[in-house]
Chain A
Amino acid sequence: MGILLNILYFIAFIVASMAAGWLFRAVVIAVFPGRIAKEMRTAPLTASFGLFMILLYIIVAVFAPWIAPFPETEIVGREFQPWDSDNWLGTDALGRDMLTRMIYGARNTVGIAFATTTLAFVMGAILGLLAATVGGWMDQSLSRSVDVLMAIPSLIFSLLLLTIFGTSVLTLIIVIAIIDSTRVFRLARSVSVTIVVMDYIEAAKLRGEGRWHLITREILPNALAPLVAEFGLRFCFVFLAISALSFLGLGIQPPTADWGSMVKENATLITFGDITPLLPAGAIALLTVSVNFVVDWQLHRASGLKE
Chain B
Amino acid sequence: MSDQFSDKDVLLTVKGLKIEGRADESWMPIVNGVDLTLRKGEVLGLIGESGAGKSTVGLAAMGFTRDGCRISDGEILFDGIDLRHAGTKVLRDLKGKRIAYVAQSAAASFNPSHKLMDQYCEGPVQHGVMGRTEAESDAVDLYRRMQLPDPESIGFRYPHQVSGGQLQRAMTAMAMSCRPDLIIFDEPTTALDVTTQIEVLAAIRDIVEQFDTAAIYITHDLAVVAQMADRIKVLLKGDEVEEADTRTMLAAPQEEYTKSLWAVRSYTRAEQPPVAKGTTPVVSVRNVTAGYGAVDVLMDVSFDIHQRRTVAVVGESGSGKSTVARVITGLLPPRRGEILFDGKALPPDYRRRTRDQLRQAQMIYQMADTALNPKLKIRELIGRPAQMYLGLQGKALTERIRQLLDLIELEPDEYIDRLPSELSGGQKQRIGIARALAAEPKFIICDEVTSALDQLVAEGILKLLDKLQTEFDLAYMFITHDLATVKAIADEVVVMKEGKVVEQGPKSEMFQPPHDPYTELLLSSVPEMDPDWLTDLLQERAAKAG
Contacts and interface: CB of A to CB of B under 8 A. Distances in A.
Tell me if chains A and B make direct contact, with any CB pair below 8 A: yes
B262 interface: no
Interface string A170-203: 0000000000000000000000000000111011
Contacts of B371: 199-200, 203
Interface in A185-228: 198-200, 202-209, 217-218, 221-222
Contact of B388 (A203, A205, A208, A222): A208
5 shortest interchain CB distances as A-B pairs = A221-B375, A199-B371, A200-B373, A199-B370, A199-B365
Contacts of B345: none
Nearest to B354: A208
Contacts of A206: 329-331, 350, 358, 363
A198 B370 contact: yes
A307 B67 CA distance: 7
16 contacts: A198-B370, A199-B370, A203-B363, A203-B365, A203-B435, A204-B373, A205-B350, A206-B350, A206-B363, A207-B385, A207-B388, A208-B388, A209-B388, A218-B373, A221-B373, A222-B375
A182 B330 CA distance: 35
Contacts of B439: 207
A1 interface: no
B384 interface: yes
Interface residues on A, range: 10 to 19
Interface in A251-306: 305
B514 interface: no
B472 to A, nearest CB: 19
Contact of B358 (A200, A207, A222): A207
Q: Count chain B CB atoms within 10 A of each CB in A203, A208, A217 and give the residue with the most.
A: A203
Given A208-B355, A305-B68, A202 B331 contact: yes
Contacts of B370: 198-200
A202 B330 CA distance: 11
Q: Count chain B CB atoms within 10 A of each CB in A205, A206, A305 and give the residue with the most.
A: A206
B372 interface: yes
Interface in B353-374: 353, 355, 358, 363, 365, 367, 370-374
A200 B419 CA distance: 14
B388 A200 contact: no
Contacts of A221: 373, 375-376
Interface string B322-333: 000000011100
B15 interface: no
A212 B80 CA distance: 67
Nearest to A195: B373
B418 interface: no
Contacts of A198: 370
Given A205-B350, A206-B329, A222 B374 contact: yes
Given A206-B363, A207-B384, A207-B385, A200 B68 contact: no
A110 B397 CA distance: 48
Contacts of A204: 373
Q: Count chain A CB atoms within 10 A of each CB in B329, B330, B350, B375 and give the residue with the most.
A: B375
A305 B22 contact: yes
A93 B148 CA distance: 81
Contacts, number: 45
A209 B385 CA distance: 10
A214 to B, nearest CB: 11
Contacts of B329: 206
Nearest to A198: B370
A255 B82 CA distance: 76
Given A198-B370, A202-B331, A208-B355, 17 more contacts: A199-B367, A203-B365, A203-B435, A206-B330, A207-B358, A207-B384, A207-B385, A207-B439, A208-B353, A208-B388, A217-B376, A218-B373, A221-B376, A222-B375, A305-B22, A305-B67, A307-B67
Nearest to A222: B375
Contacts of A202: 331
Contacts of B385: 207
Contacts of A218: 373
A92 B537 CA distance: 93
Contacts of A222: 373-375
A208 B358 contact: yes
Contacts of A305: 22, 67-68
Nearest to A209: B388
B450 to A, nearest CB: 16
Contacts of B375: 221-222
A141 B12 CA distance: 63
A218 B384 CA distance: 12
A209 B376 CA distance: 15
A205 B374 CA distance: 17
A202 B331 CA distance: 9
Contacts of A200: 370-373
Interface string A11-28: 000000000000000000
Nearest to A203: B371
B514 to A, nearest CB: 39
Contacts of A203: 363, 365, 371, 435
Nearest to B21: A305
A204 B350 CA distance: 12
A204 B388 CA distance: 11
Contacts of B367: 199
A206 to B, nearest CB: 6
Contacts of B353: 208
A296 to B, nearest CB: 19
A229 to B, nearest CB: 17
Nearest to A200: B373
Contacts of A205: 350
A199 B331 CA distance: 12
Interface in B26-84: 67-68
